[in-house]
């Protein structure tokens, strides 16, 4: 797992990362979410030992990354897919990485196949689209078969099929018990990608919780329920602090509780549920309202 304690990074007067303490656990996909300039890339670079913290510390499986010999076998990372030598072929690039990390050369063809670049393996990277470079960056992260994987904005430039593939890949890596930490500045991207969220704004921790709990922090988020006994369900839910707006005899719109909690309460009270639907579109608004105060660069009118 990844453990940051009071992690801080200053650039002159700018505090890019401000006293961050969090843990990224194995076996699930953790989204690292924050508006532009929030400090995500700086944090990832400190996890990898590429930037030295100004204060605090971060370890991977209890050891600072620099203390892991043959790094790619311990942590695989995609930081900037564009930051790559364009004159080489994909195969040559990965073969060089494999050599310097003492990874068997046969892994190169395996990962190229896995990311869908087998046919482009001998082509110059300079001619690759951004989506292909993202796939190559992901191949590099997978090369050492590491237990911990970091991805900085991995969905950038991918077409819808690519996005679906990446999501499936992250799920599988997490199901294999690995630690998967994925940054994004877009809540909507995280919605089908992450199980857990670490949200930062202006370098500070805003939230560290399950995606569904984070979404429920937006009080405008609602869950639609349909039940033959709406009156009894309304009583049970309001007793827990929710409010229920009756839409028809059997349908109500609930705010203030997650769908999971509503389902559990219905079960406890022996109330049949015929529908239970979260209004997921407002995840974006949860993110916007919770991070609004910490956004550095609000565009003109919104400021
Ligand atoms: N090398 C550097 N020198 C000076 N300031 C820096 C440096 N790197 C980052 N910063 C500043 O630190 C802050 C955090 O930047 P960072 O790139 O970590 O944010 P981010 O959350 O990854 O943003 P984005 O979503 O735009 O990639 C910004 O204010 C940025 O300008």
d(CA 163, CA 168): 9
Residue nearest to ligand 1 atom 18, measured at CA? 39
Measured from the Cα of 12, ligand 1's closest atom is 4
Task: Confirm or reject: Cβ of 42 under 6 Å from ligand 1.
Answer: yes
Same fold across 2-210 and 222-278: no
For residues 198 and 7, the answer to whether their CB atoms sit within 8 Å is no
275 Cβ closer than 6 Å to some ligand 1 atom = no
226 Cα: distance to centroid of ligand 1 (angstroms): 47
Ligand 1 centroid distance, CA of 38 (Å): 7
- Cα 171 off chain centre by: 11
Arithmetic mean of pLDDT over the chain: 88
- Per the model's pLDDT, the better-predicted residue between 147 and 280 turns out to be 147
Considering the entire predicted model, what is its pTM?
0.78
The CA-based dihedral angle spanning residues 155, 161, 165, 166, taken in that order and rounded to the nearest 10 degrees: 0
Domain boundaries, the chain: 2-210, 222-278
- 13 within ligand 1 shell (Cβ under 6 A): no
- What percent of the chain lies above the pLDDT cut of 70? 89
- Assess contact for 136 and 93: CB atoms under 8 A: yes
Lowest mean pLDDT among 40-54, 115-129, 138-152, 180-194: 180-194
Q: For 54-68, what is the mean pLDDT?
A: 86
State phi, psi for 152 to the nearest 5 degrees.
Answer: -100, 110
Residue 203 CA: nearest ligand 1 atom is 14
Return the residue whose CA atom lies nearest to atom 30 of ligand 1. Answer: 37
Does the beta carbon of 11 lie inside 6 Å of ligand 1? yes
Contact 192, 160 (CB under 8 A): no
User: CATH top-level class for 222-278?
Assistant: alpha beta
Check pLDDT > 50 for residue 126. yes
Helical spans, DSSP H, in the chain? 40-47, 90-100, 106-114, 130-142, 160-175, 187-191, 211-216, 230-238, 259-268, 283-291
Ligand 1 atom showing the smallest separation from residue 296 Cα? 29
The predicted-structure confidence for 133-192, as pLDDT tens digits, reads as follows: 999 999 999 999 999 999 999 998 888 888 999 999 999 999 999 999 999 887 777 888
Alpha carbon of 55 to ligand 1 centroid (Å)? 17
- CATH tag, 2-210: 3.40.50.300
Half-sphere exposure of 261 (CA within 13 A, CB side): 17
The pLDDT of residue 235 is above 50: yes
Atom number of ligand 1 nearest to Cα 9: 12
Distance, in Å, from the CA atom of 228 to the CA atom of 40, rounded to the nearest integer, reads: 47
- Strands of the 14-24 sheet, one edge to the other: 14-24, 2-11, 55-60
Q: Which two tokens stand for residue 128?
A: 């690759």
**For residue 167, how far is its CA from the centre of ligand 1 (angstroms)?**
26
Tell how far the Cα of 117 is from the centroid of ligand 1, in angstroms: 31
The whole-number pLDDT of residue 297 equals: 47
Torsion of Cα atoms, 86 then 33 then 159 then 126, to 10°: 0
Q: What is the pLDDT of residue 70?
A: 65
Strand, helix or coil for residue 77: strand
């Amino acid at each position: 797992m990844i453990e940051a304690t009071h992690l801080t990074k200053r650039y002159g007067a700018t505090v890019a990362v401000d006293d961050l303490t969090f843990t990224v656990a194995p076996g699930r996909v953790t989204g690292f979410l924050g508006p532009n300039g929030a400090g995500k890339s700086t944090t990832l670079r400190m996890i990898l030992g590429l930037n030295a913290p100004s204060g605090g510390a971060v370890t991977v499986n209890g050891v600072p990354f620099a203390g892991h010999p043959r790094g790619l076998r311990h942590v695989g990372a995609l930081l900037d897919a564009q930051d790559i030598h364009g004159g080489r072929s994909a195969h040559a690039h990965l073969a060089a990485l494999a050599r310097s990390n003492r990874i068997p050369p046969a892994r190169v063809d395996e990962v190229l196949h896995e990311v869908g670049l087998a046919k482009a393996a001998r082509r110059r990277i300079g001619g690759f689209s951004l989506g292909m470079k993202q796939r190559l960056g992901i191949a590099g992260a997978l090369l050492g078969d590491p237990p911990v994987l970091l991805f900085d904005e991995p969905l950038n430039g991918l077409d819808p099929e690519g996005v679906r593939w990446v999501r499936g890949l992250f799920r599988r890596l997490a199901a294999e018990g690995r630690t998967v930490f994925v940054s994004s500045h877009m809540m909507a991207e995280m919605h089908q990608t992450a199980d857990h969220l670490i949200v930062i704004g202006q370098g500070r921790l805003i939230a560290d919780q399950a995606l569904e709990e984070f979404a429920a922090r937006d009080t405008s988020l609602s869950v639609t329920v349909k039940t033959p006994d709406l009156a009894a369900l309304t009583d049970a839910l309001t007793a827990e602090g929710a409010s229920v707006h009756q839409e028809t005899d059997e349908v109500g719109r609930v705010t203030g509780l997650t769908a999971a909690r509503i389902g559990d309460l219905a079960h406890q009270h022996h109330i049949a549920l015929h529908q239970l639907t979260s209004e997921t579109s407002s995840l974006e608004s949860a993110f916007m309202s919770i991070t609004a105060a910490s956004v550095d660069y609000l565009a003109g009118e919104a400021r």
